[in-house]
Chain A
Amino acid sequence: MSTAAIAALTAILLVGIASTVIGIVGHRARRTSDFLVASRNVGAGANAGAISGEYLSAASFLGIAGLVLSDGVDALWYPVGFTAGYLSLLLFVAAPLRRSGAYTVPDFAEVRLRSRGLRLVCTAFVLVIGWLYLLPQLQGAGLTVATVTGLPAWTGELGAGIVIVLSVMFGGMRSATFVQAFQYWLKLTAVTLPVIVALVYFLGSGHTYDRPAPPSFPERTTVDVHTGVTLQAGQDVTFTAAGRIDGRDVAPTEPQTWTAGSRHVVGEGTDLTFPAGSAVPVVAGGPVADDEWLLPLSGADPHQLLGIYSLIIATFLGTMGLPHVLVRFYTNPDGRAARRSAVYVLAMIGVFYLLVTLLGALSRFYTPQLLVGGQTDAAVLLLPTAVLGSGTAGAVLGGIVAAGAWAAFLSTSSGLVVSLAGVLSTDVLRGKRLSNFRFATVLAGAAPVALALGVTQLDFTETVALAFAVAASTFCPLLVLGVWWRGLTAKGAIAGVLAGGILAAGAVGVSLAGIAGTGVLGVLLYRPAIVSVPVAFATMIVVSVLTARERPTDVDAVMLRLHAPERLGLSRDAVSGRDRAELDEPAPDERAAGPA
């Protein structure tokens, strides 16, 4: 193992140990509400750090830079959408939901519509969305370990799963808040340092992207193509290969020549060796030359506009349905603090996305070989050694980046696992004791680990976008109509959630199974939101109108509670009764302990 690998592994282990120790020793969870919402007494600053720490996942840390590397400006849609989705959550549902006293979407469904059936449907989709979102986190952990140490990917996936479950099991949300705030600052450091270093070198090199040529290999490079891929050459390129190209076996002894603009199918496991200075062929469909890459909508796919609209809908409306994001609004002492947190959060994630975008742009110069294998998600991880070499400086910087990447997986995953464990223990296991939360935590963490070991690995950002699409097609209509429309009925809500959810989740299932369609259908399978979200809204409204007689009788009181001010005595913790009942010791009034 090289110095760089040892440094990175040490850094990863340190992050894992630190997170677990803070989780276990820092704050022992005592009560269920500690476990779920940190007793609502976390300050705005710490909470904003935690929200940002939790929100910036593998997709943000690795995925965005990877997409910028391959797609250029078009990749900006993801971070812009992730940020905007947060805004729509704040504008439409955050405050009313907070006042409803429901911690989760299933809780909200029950408070608003008094339907056990709807509650169960929501529970099922919380699990689907949560597990789908956990999948790229674990795969990211696997990729990080494999890239920086050369160990097999499953060790990282399993290791991350164990650390997450342990830290959540013994700490819950209260400790998660501080762990996540710490992890945000770690992540920010881990992208800021390489950006500064690489930018200095890049500006010194005098390189420009404003040229009609593809990137080139800085030195003789061998690329191992893991999965079969179609490559497009931007300029004539001569290289040697061992494996299969265009359906026939090739040996390293016969040099291959691809002419400019030609496309070639490269088989799984093929090694391609390019001499220094030769042009980089890229995965077909994306921009080839650097100056194309600088422009929006530069790819060759005729349906990319449809894909972008669908992505905008999914990210803009999906954020409000993500279980780990929603619950965070409860950890502030009051609505004012919650709003202040939101502003901090947008600043914090905005800065982070800007830096990651820059990293992606820089990696086009330093790690162009990733464009060949299609594994662009590794760009951030490989950049430090590509810029500084594999000596001590490169190893240290690489270690910091690997630690930041792990912080990203751990923070997002622990937030998700807390939320999923909460839902599992209340609705599926029907438990009343804290030990049930612990069992639920194991279950919440084990399922996605099994999934991660089994399914096709897409780009992380793509997988996360699938989770957003399912959330936008199910919980967004439920929350928006539930908060703003008195006419919603339980039957309408169930029908809408099922219609949108089955469409979106079905498309997601097909994508994850590795089946790719072509043309419009192919785009919709990866980006179903443009169809499934309107279907969900329409179904919900039509069925509600048809069953208008079944409107809950207390709709006026509930709507007043949602829209009237807090501290009216109208807001109640939906779980507080359950919570109190299971306590042996009398509960101190924890809200009094928070800043007023």
Chain B
Amino acid sequence: MSTIEERRADTGTVYERVQAGPEFADLRRRLRRFVFPMSAAFLVWYLAYVLLASYAPEFMATKVAGNINVGIVVGLLQFVSTFAITTVYVRFANRHIDPAAERIRQQIEGPAR
């Protein structure tokens, strides 16, 4: 850890270089490009349920089997979609964010020991 401590004394430039560097900008852009559209998609799906319930009650009342109607199925699918998005995010982070982050780390600390 001592090497980092030494670097920290004159890190002002290292921070600034990394901050301005293309890798860091790329990392943040990738993350933003994933996180924000994903949240938007999820919110839309979420609101679709409310809108369907208020404006298309007959559709929601369509019977699927026994006591189960479309409204209940769509409601329960909200859980499934939350789980699916999380899984996709974790894959994305493991595949794209971690390697990019590792490159930046090497840039600052030098090659991995």
Q: Do A and B bind each other?
A: yes
Residues of A within 8 A of B (CB): 73, 76, 79-80, 83-84, 86-88, 90-92, 95, 208-210, 294-297, 305, 308-309, 312, 316, 335-336, 339-340, 342-343, 346-347, 350, 353-354, 357, 361, 556-557, 559-560, 563-569
B94 and A336 contacting across the interface, CB-CB below 8 Å:
yes
A564 and B101 contacting across the interface, CB-CB below 8 Å:
yes
Closest chain B residue to A309 by CB distance? B50
Q: Out of B50, B67, B82, name the residue touching A305 (CB < 8 Å).
A: B50
For the complex, what is the distance from the CA of A94 to the CA of B42, rounded to whole Å?
Answer: 18
What's the least CB distance linking B37 to chain A, in Å? 11
Interface residues of B, count at CB 8 A: 56
Residues of B within 8 A of A (CB): 1, 4, 7-8, 11-12, 15-16, 18-19, 24, 27-28, 31, 35, 38-39, 42-43, 46-47, 49-50, 52-54, 57, 60-61, 63, 66-67, 69, 71-72, 75-76, 78-80, 82-83, 85-87, 89-90, 93-94, 98, 101-102, 104-105, 108-109
What's the least CB distance linking A45 to chain B, in Å? 15
For the complex, what is the distance from the CA of A557 to the CA of B46, rounded to whole Å?
Answer: 37
Q: Out of B76, B86, B98, name the residue touching A87 (CB < 8 Å).
A: B86
Q: Out of B19, B28, B75, B101, name the residue touching A80 (CB < 8 Å).
A: B75
A294 and B72 contacting across the interface, CB-CB below 8 Å:
yes
B54 and A557 contacting across the interface, CB-CB below 8 Å:
no
B19 and A84 contacting across the interface, CB-CB below 8 Å:
no
> What residues of chain A lie closer than 8 Å to B79, measured between beta carbons?
79-80, 83, 350, 353-354
List 4 additional A-B contacts (Cβ < 8 Å) besides A73-B71, A296-B60, A312-B50: A90-B86, A296-B57, A316-B46, A343-B87
What's the least CB distance linking B8 to chain A, in Å? 8
A557 and B15 contacting across the interface, CB-CB below 8 Å:
yes
A565 and B104 contacting across the interface, CB-CB below 8 Å:
yes
Which of A339, A557, A564, A567 has its CB near the most chain B CB atoms (within 10 A)? A564
What's the least CB distance linking A354 to chain B, in Å? 7
Name 7 A/B residue pairs within 8 A (Cβ), A-sorted. A83-B78, A84-B42, A95-B93, A350-B82, A565-B104, A568-B108, A569-B8
For the complex, what is the distance from the CA of A495 to the CA of B35, rounded to whole Å?
Answer: 27
For the complex, what is the distance from the CA of A567 to the CA of B86, rounded to whole Å?
Answer: 24
A87 and B85 contacting across the interface, CB-CB below 8 Å:
yes
For the complex, what is the distance from the CA of A208 to the CA of B63, rounded to whole Å?
Answer: 13
Q: Out of A73, A76, A91, name the residue touching B39 (CB < 8 Å).
A: A91
Known contacts being A87-B86, A88-B39, A210-B63, is A564 close to B71, with CB within 8 Å? no
A568 and B105 contacting across the interface, CB-CB below 8 Å:
yes
Known contacts being A343-B87, A560-B15, is A91 close to B35, with CB within 8 Å? yes
A312 and B46 contacting across the interface, CB-CB below 8 Å:
yes
For the complex, what is the distance from the CA of A365 to the CA of B57, rounded to whole Å?
Answer: 24
What's the least CB distance linking B23 to chain A, in Å? 10
B50 and A76 contacting across the interface, CB-CB below 8 Å:
no
For the complex, what is the distance from the CA of A76 to the CA of B69, rounded to whole Å?
Answer: 14
B50 and A569 contacting across the interface, CB-CB below 8 Å:
no
For the complex, what is the distance from the CA of A210 to the CA of B59, rounded to whole Å?
Answer: 16
Q: Out of A312, A343, A559, A566, name the residue touching B86 (CB < 8 Å).
A: A343
For the complex, what is the distance from the CA of A115 to the CA of B50, rounded to whole Å?
Answer: 41
Q: Out of B7, B75, B83, name the residue touching A76 (CB < 8 Å).
A: B75
What's the least CB distance linking B9 to chain A, in Å? 13
For the complex, what is the distance from the CA of A86 to the CA of B49, rounded to whole Å?
Answer: 19
For the complex, what is the distance from the CA of A342 to the CA of B4, rounded to whole Å?
Answer: 31
For the complex, what is the distance from the CA of A76 to the CA of B42, rounded to whole Å?
Answer: 16
Closest chain B residue to A74 by CB distance? B53
Closest chain A residue to B28 by CB distance? A563
Closest chain A residue to B75 by CB distance? A76
For the complex, what is the distance from the CA of A546 to the CA of B42, rounded to whole Å?
Answer: 33
Closest chain B residue to A88 by CB distance? B39
Closest chain B residue to A566 by CB distance? B101
